[in-house]
Copies of this chain bind each other. A is one copy, B any other.
Amino acid sequence: MTDYSHYAATQHPAVALSIPDLETRTTGREPADIRLWLRMLSCCTLIENEVRSRLRSEFQTTLPRFDLMSQLTHAPKGLKMSELSRLMMVTNGNVTGITDQLEKDGLVERMKDDGDRRSSLIRLTMKGRRYHRRMQRAHETWIQSLLGGLAPAARNTLFDLLGDLKQATYSRLPAA
């Protein structure tokens, strides 16, 4: 049993702002799941668009590139392509492409020192580590600014509920 009672009601207008976006197409007559999905999707799209835009204008890079580097920061010894693929939720070929670009820019390197000679370990170079650190600091600031309007208690409840949702969804995937 999980207790969400630490969450206290937030103070906000009774009527949500009517902002035209992906959720607008709902009329209220749709199943609750559809409305929930479209609302969550518009939240994500809103933030993602903003982050993509700032990564481009301030760091001349993209979200997948930043994500790949972020995954590597917690693996000093490096990660295999297949591990990156699973972590980033994209296919193997895509990871090869993104890695190629980052390698060309000297931000990551392929290490051929595994016991298994089919695979290689990808890891950040020094330059990559420095570059990522700068981006990460900015990224944290952006996210905190964008999500900062939500009260801490609400944020905690949301975090827990999304954890439940994620677990439930995973278990309902056809593959799973």
Q: Are A89 and B22 in contact (CB under 8 A)?
A: yes
* 6 closest cross-chain pairs (CB), A and B: A149-B168, A44-B44, A33-B147, A158-B161, A33-B144, A39-B162
A96 at the interface (CB under 8 A from B): no
Cα A71 to Cα B16 with chains together (Å):
20
Distance between A106 CB and nearest chain B CB, rounded to angstroms: 22
A7 at the interface (CB under 8 A from B): yes
Contacts of A24 in B (CB 8 A): 71, 87
Chain A interface helix/strand/loop/mixed: helix
Contacts of A25 in B (CB 8 A): 70-71, 73-74, 87
Distance between A156 CB and nearest chain B CB, rounded to angstroms: 7
Number of copies: 2
Contacts of A111 in B (CB 8 A): none
Besides the known contacts A39-B162, A45-B89, 7 further A-B residue pairs in the complex with CB atoms under 8 A apart:
A2-B12, A22-B89, A36-B162, A41-B44, A44-B44, A146-B173, A147-B165
* CB<8 Å pairs between A and B, sample of 13: A1-B11, A12-B167, A20-B87, A22-B88, A30-B140, A32-B155, A32-B156, A34-B143, A39-B162, A41-B47, A43-B169, A147-B165, A147-B169
- Please classify how large the interface on chain A is, using the bins under 10, 10 to 19, 20 to 34, 35 or more: 35 or more
A59 at the interface (CB under 8 A from B): no
Q: Are B35 and A40 in contact (CB under 8 A)?
A: no
Closest to A72 in B: B25
Distance between A45 CB and nearest chain B CB, rounded to angstroms: 5
Cα A150 to Cα B146 with chains together (Å):
26
Q: Are B9 and A39 in contact (CB under 8 A)?
A: no
A60 at the interface (CB under 8 A from B): no
